[in-house]
Amino acid sequence: MRKRTLILIYLILPFFFTGCFDSREIGDHAYVTALGIGQGISDTFRLTFQISKFGQGSGSSGGQEGEEGGGGGKNEEMEVITIDASSLLSAVSITNSYLSKDLNFMHLKLIVISEELAKNDMMEETLAPLIRYRHIRRTTNVIISKENAEEFIKELKPYPGELITRTLEELFENSMKIGYFHNSTLNDLYCEIKSPYHALLVTYGSINKEDNFKSEGDFFEGEPNIPGNYYAGEVPRKGGPKIELVGTTVFDGDKMVGKLTGFETQMLHLVRGELKFGPFSITDPEKPDLAIPLDITEFEKPVVKVDLNGENPKIHVKLKFEGDIVSIQSGIDYETPEKLPIVEDAFEKQLIKGIKDTFDKCKEMKADVFDFGTTAASQFWTIPEWEEYNWLEKFSESELEVEVDFTVRRTGKLIKSEPNFSSEGKE
Amino acid sequence: MIKEGNFGYHEAISTLLITIVINVFFTSPAIVVEIVGNVGWYMTIISMLTAIFAFMFLYLLLKRFPNKNIMEISDVVLGKWGSAVFLFLFGGFLLWTASISIREFAEILKIYVLPRTPPSFITILFLITIVFFSYMGLETIVRFAKFIIYILGAGFILVIILSSQNFNFKNLFPILGYGLDNTLINGLLRSSLYGEIVLIGVIASSLQGYKEIKRIGLSTLFLAGLITSISLLVFTLVFPYTVGQEITSPMYEMAALINYGGFMQRMEPLFLFLWNFGSFVEIAFVFYATLMIYCHIFRIDDKRPVILPMVTTLYSLSLIPKSITEVTSGYVQTLRSWGWVFYFIPPVFILIIAMIRKKKGESKNA
């Protein structure tokens, strides 16, 4: 019996060493943190790999002495490789012919697709292989970049002292706080591209070349701009990371048909109930050259009704918000019960206009970015009936009615605005 | 010689429940979505009710022959040769289902976790466990099932709760999927998912009488229906019907989508744990049932010499399908749609013959 047991143990023992057959240590891999896809010149796709070194001191290069600060400095912890290939797998295998480490996508955080590729009806061809690829997770974020993906990835730097993966995670989390861009993952993309309910939305990103930042010229006059009403790459700013995510690209099927600004993206997020709180700003009703910033919170979930009985679908949206006045630049006493409704009314009108303008823009693109289709689908009994109705086509003929109810709850750290005094007396 | 032993209500339910429910973790949900769209979650309730209806015939049969298992009843009703033919077919069918499960398990493990490992290696390692379980006997299998079911249950609930971040309740519309008639027909046909409940007939001698068999059968089917329905519902909430039908292992993908920031993501190993241990119990139990049937046909008292040859047969059968496509769209689909013929018709058939031939077991109090 003892002899038998020993033999059995000896026979089983080799199975514990099977891992040695194809074992890979952490250091054997080159971890791709961002993948860029664009149209190739020598082959179908131009693929760019941002390879990060995860180790001691990684990600801290941005703030080192003698280097440029702000994360835009020289970063020796990353390598960017670009290659033209027919597919991701072939690009990986060719790369492995000159790179000693195995390319690994387990820590891939971002996929950047060039706008030109997205406009050329090639999203399906680009996405389908990625979804099937075992290493790439469906939770990976996706961006459509204004520039080619290679350029974009070269400018993708970590926040000083951080790993690039963390920087990207935090950057995308901001979508929920500000709503200026849509947080899209590979899973969302794949589900939406095949969806009969709504259109595909993808984050819009670009390199800010500081072209819109004017150092010289006359000082600004007139009504303040609507915050976030830009496309990525157009924000008038200087310094900080070069890449920015503002706005959203809109697709009809797998073809990019347009884009929305940061403000328009906020509008669609409010209607979809995806922006629970966020910063907004209205033009001061009594002093139009100044603004009243507001911090708003969703009070009730959006109520969407779709009436399919008429010739054209009629959509009714009811939104309810509450919020705080963050500041009153004009110093006008809007805090008083008599004047508070003026602010509330102005904000309601601004939202209604913003939503309707965004809706009209999307109607022209034939893209239901508001997700009204899912409400419309509840009025159909079966999938064949629903698919036959073809909501995505009918959406462009639909009419929208918006109702917004906004209540100012708090007025910040001041409950009253007293006038200023000058040599001329009370202003 | 291996003794089957006696075991109770909890052990039997745990074993049968794992054996039935584990199928949801493989490719079945994707096939269900392909067939009925987004209504798999209530289609499976129809399947469960059908299975309960079919199970009642088995119960009536076991009640007619108290303290006898299906093999002994078959001997009495069909005669020695008739019974041998029937049991041989039934045992063969069970071995075939076990081989499909093993192949499906190995293929999916290879796709998601062990891409470089030869499938034969995965299968052999798996079969070593099955051999071990079989040597230890039925009582070990069921007691292991009872031990593991709490852990599996906790893991299952955790995966579902954590997946709630990805729920979209509007995926449930249109509420009738591809049509009520389609759902109803497929619900009836796919009662095969619960077909393994008939294994209760094989282990009937180890249970405490027909009343407990009824209790075990109904409880198992009800719980299995509930868990399967919840799984399919959750899966539909996460993946719309247009995408759900494409995914190889939807439940695995669902677990992989869990993402609560830097510290709570990549949860699929949790699912792997459920998957592996659940599969061990399922295949070990089905295999052991086959072993019992085979040994009964040939009146073999000691099952141990039969284990290795039968495992070799199981291994060979699992190698027959050429690819995962053949396994999922061919074998699994056929099994789920037509398995009920093998699972549920024989008890009805035997019961009718027993009634015609006026065969009846001895009363317990006689």
CATH code of residue B328: 1.20.1740.10
8 A C-beta contact, residue B2 and residue B135: yes
pLDDT band at A329 (very low <50, low <70, confident <90, very high): confident
The pLDDT assigned to A181 comes to 93
Q: Which tokens hold the place of B51?
A: 């299975």
From the list A18, A139, A173, which residue is nearest B257 (CB)?
Answer: A139
CA dist., res. B302 & res. B137, Å (int):
11
Among candidates B174, B256, B259 on the partner chain, residue whose Cβ is nearest the Cβ of A380: B174
Q: Which of A187, A378, A383 comes nearest B257 by C-beta?
A: A187
B1 occurs within a structural domain: no
Give the pLDDT of residue A55: 60
Select the more confidently predicted residue: A65 or B290. Answer: B290
Structure tokens at B278: 């659940």
- From CA A299, how far away is CA A129, in angstroms rounded? 42
B208 C-beta neighbours (distance < 10 Å), count: 15
Q: Among A171-180, A356-365, B89-98, whose mean pLDDT is lowest?
A: A171-180
Strands A45-52 and A78-85: antiparallel
**Mean pLDDT value across residues A249-266:** 92
To probe the interface with A, which of B242, B247, B264 has the most A CB atoms within 10 Å? B242
Q: What single-letter DSSP state applies at residue A220?
A: P
Chain A touched by B309 (CB under 8 Å):
no
Q: For position A311, what pLDDT does the model report?
A: 86
Whether A84 and A46 have beta carbons less than 8 Å apart is answered as: yes
Res B2: pLDDT: 58
- pLDDT over 70 percentage in chain A: 94
Q: What is the pLDDT of residue A146?
A: 93
How much is the pLDDT for A69? Answer: 41
Contact B148, B277 (CB under 8 A): yes
Mean pLDDT, rounded, for A280-307? 90
- Structural tokens at position B156: 């299952």
Rounded CA gap, A370 and A182, in Å? Answer: 12
CB-based contacts of A193, cutoff 8 Å, min separation 6: A123, A124, A127, A200, A251, A253, A254
Buried b / exposed e along B216-237 (16+ C-beta atoms within 10 A)? bbebbbebbbebbbbbbbbbbb
Q: Could you tell me if B177 lies within 8 Å of chain A, comparing CB atoms?
A: yes
Closest CA–CA distance from residue A142 to any residue of chain B (Å): 15
Domain of B60 in residue numbering reads as 9-356
- pLDDT per residue over A183-206, tens digit each? 999 999 989 888 999 999 999 999
B365 domain residue, yes or no: no
Helix (H, G, I), strand (E, B) or coil at B221: helix
pLDDT tens digits along B142-177: 999 999 999 999 989 998 999 999 999 989 989 999
Residues 6+ apart with CB under 8 A from A415: A335
Q: Write down how long chain B is.
A: 366
Q: Are B243 and A190 in contact (CB under 8 A)?
A: yes
The encoded tokens of residue A384 equal 């064949």
Q: What is the DSSP string of B222-271?
A: HHHHHHHHHHHHHHHHHS-HHHHTT-SSHHHHHHHT-B-STTSB--HHHH
Helix, strand, coil percent values for chain A (each to nearest 5): 30, 25, 40
Q: From CA A242, how far away is CA A159, in angstroms rounded?
A: 11
CATH 3.30.300.210 placement within chain A = 276-418
User: Using 50, 70 and 90 to split pLDDT, how confident is the model at A68?
Assistant: very low
Cβ–Cβ below 8 Å for A374 and B177? no
Q: Please report which confidence band the pLDDT of residue B363 belongs to, taking 50, 70 and 90 as the band edges.
A: low
Least confident of A50-54, B231-235, B362-366: B362-366
Starting at the earlier edge strand, list the strands of the sheet with A399-410. Answer: A277-283, A291-307, A314-325, A399-410
The tally of domains found in chain B comes to 1
Q: What is the ipTM of this complex?
A: 0.86
Q: Which residues of A touch B175 (CB under 8 A)?
A: 378, 381
**In the numeric block, which tokens belong to residue B304?**
């141990």
State both tokens at B85. Answer: 């033919």
Closest Cβ opposite residue B242 in set A12, A137, A195: A195
Give domain status of residue B263, yes or no: yes
Q: Cβ–Cβ of A386/B37 closer than 8 Å?
A: no
Q: A425 vs A98, which has greater pLDDT?
A: A98
> Mean of the pLDDT values across residues A396-420?
87
Residue A64's pLDDT is what?
A: 43
B308 touches chain A (CB under 8 A): no
Q: Average pLDDT of B243-260? A: 89
Contacts of B210 (CB under 8 A, 6+ apart): B59, B62, B63, B66
The tens digit of pLDDT for each residue in B10-61 reads 999 999 999 999 988 888 888 899 999 999 999 999 999 999 999 999 999 9
- Residues in chain B closer than 8 A to A381 (CB atoms): 174-176
Q: Quote the CA–CA distance of A96 and A85 in Å, as a whole number.
A: 13
pLDDT tens digits, one per residue of A338-367: 888 898 999 999 999 999 999 999 999 999
What pLDDT digit, counting tens, does each position of B163-221 carry? 999 999 989 989 999 999 999 999 999 999 999 999 999 999 888 888 899 999 999 99
Residue A191 and residue B242: Cβ atoms within 8 Å? yes
Contacts B265 to A, Cβ<8 Å: 139
Confidence of residue B121 (pLDDT cuts 50, 70, 90): confident
- Tokens 């009809």 locate to A252
* Tokens (6 digits) for A174: 């901001």
Beta strands in A261-347 (DSSP E): 277-283, 291-307, 314-325
Asked if residue B287 belongs to a domain, the reply is yes
* A107 pLDDT higher than 50: yes
* Residue carrying the six token digits 């045992």: B91
Share of chain A above pLDDT 90, in %: 45
Neighboring chain B residues of A190 at a CB cutoff of 8 Å: 243
Nearest to A194 among B117, B171, B242 (CB): B242
What is the Cα–Cα distance from B136 to B291, expressed in whole angstroms? Answer: 13
Please report residues of B whose CB lies closer than 8 A to that of A189: none
Cβ B22 vs Cβ B249: under 8 Å: no
**Model confidence at A65, in pLDDT bands (50, 70, 90)?**
very low
Is the predicted pLDDT of residue A66 greater than 70, yes or no? no
* pLDDT above 50 (res A58): no
Q: What is the mean pLDDT of chain A?
A: 86
Expressed in angstroms, the distance from the first to the final Cα of chain B is 31
Q: How confident is the model at residue A272 (pLDDT cuts 50, 70, 90)?
A: very high
With respect to residue B333, please indicate whether it lies within any of the assigned structural domains: yes
CA nearest B36: which of B339, B341, B337, B344? B337
Q: Is B3 touching A (CB cutoff 8 A)?
A: no
Q: Please check the confidence at residue A26 and state whether its pLDDT lies above 90.
A: no
For residue B362, being part of any structural domain is answered with: no
Inter-chain contact B243–A381, Cβ cutoff 8 Å?
Answer: no
Q: Taking CB atoms and an 8 Å limit, are A169 and B239 in contact across chains?
A: no
Cα–Cα distance between B93 and B5 in angstroms, integer? 25
The whole-angstrom separation of Cα A412 and Cα B196 is 66
What pTM was estimated for this model as a whole? 0.87
Identify the pLDDT of residue A310: 86
Nearest-CB residue to A191 (from B112, B239, B261): B239
Phi, psi values for residue A197, rounded to 5°: -95, -40
Residue with tokens 């392909």: B34
Q: What is the CA radius of gyration of chain B?
A: 20
Output the pLDDT for position B305.
92
Flag whether residue B179 sits within 8 Å of chain A, measured between CB atoms: yes
B4 within domain boundaries:
no
Interfacial residues of A (vs B; Cβ cutoff 8 Å)? 12, 15, 18, 22, 134, 137-139, 166, 169, 173, 187, 190-191, 194-197, 371, 374-375, 377-378, 380-386
- CB A125, CB A87: distance < 8 Å: no
Q: What is the Cα–Cα distance from B178 to B35, expressed in whole angstroms?
A: 8
Domain A276-418: top CATH class: alpha beta
pLDDT of residue A59: 47
Task: Give yes or no for a contact between A131 and A138, defined as CB atoms under 8 angstroms apart.
Answer: yes
Confidence category of residue A61, pLDDT binned at 50, 70, 90: very low
Q: What is the mean pLDDT of chain B?
A: 90
What burial letters (b/e) apply to A19-54, b meaning 16+ CB within 10 Å? eeeeeeeeeebbbbbbbbbbbbeebebbbbbbbbbb
> How much is the pLDDT for B44?
95
Phi/psi for A227 (5° steps) reads: -60, 135
Q: How many CB pairs under 8 A join A and B?
A: 70
CA B50 to chain centre: 16
Count other Cβ atoms within 10 Å, centred on residue A18: 12
Given CB atoms, is B125 within the 8 Å cutoff of chain A? yes
Residue pair B361/B73 in contact (Cβ under 8 Å)? The answer is yes
Query: Which chain B residues are within 8 Å of A377, Cβ to Cβ?
Result: 170, 173-174
